[in-house]
Amino acid sequence: MSDITNLELTIVTGGDDLRGDSSATAYIIVVNGDRTEEYSTQLKSETDSSWGNDSTHGPIVWNMPPGVTTDNLFRFGIRLHSHENATETPDNWDITSVLATYPVDGGGQAVLIDLAGGPLVRLTGSEPFWETDVT
């Protein structure tokens, strides 16, 4: 078991950008006995510039709450928050890759998640989140 003090996230956008007026969050699900807790962090706010097609973002450092370990971290996910109005449909966002690493004793980084695809996932107004098991 290793304590995870922070995650360093690098997200690569595919052929469909993350709009300037959309936001995105990363979240983890931690299991402690019979309790399940979710923690999240903002990757991009709706006031930040868009994440253009085929662009890399990160590493984004996310400080973990105390008690997150390699044994109790269960799932990792990303949520898209987009806006719909009379002149704009909900945002679609292609994610090509997700890399999440954490520091280990003695220096260096261990890989928690390293997934890629063409795209890995397409987030939409009707399917605004993606998650994966962490084992």
Give the amino acid at 104: V
Q: Give dist(CA 81, CA 90) in Å, integer.
A: 9
Q: Percent of the chain at pLDDT above 90? A: 87
Does the structure show a pLDDT above 90 at 88? no
What pLDDT is stored for residue 84 in this prediction? 75
34 SS3 class: coil
Site of tokens 């990757």: 43
Q: Give dist(CA 9, CA 53) in Å, integer.
A: 18
The radius of gyration of the chain from alpha carbons, rounded to an integer in Å, stands at 15
Q: What pTM was computed for the model? A: 0.94
Predicted confidence (pLDDT) per residue in 110-131, tens digit? 999 999 999 999 999 999 999 9
* 38 close to 10: Cβ distance less than 8 angstroms: no
Predicted confidence (pLDDT) per residue in 32-70, tens digit? 889 999 999 999 999 999 999 999 999 999 999 999 999
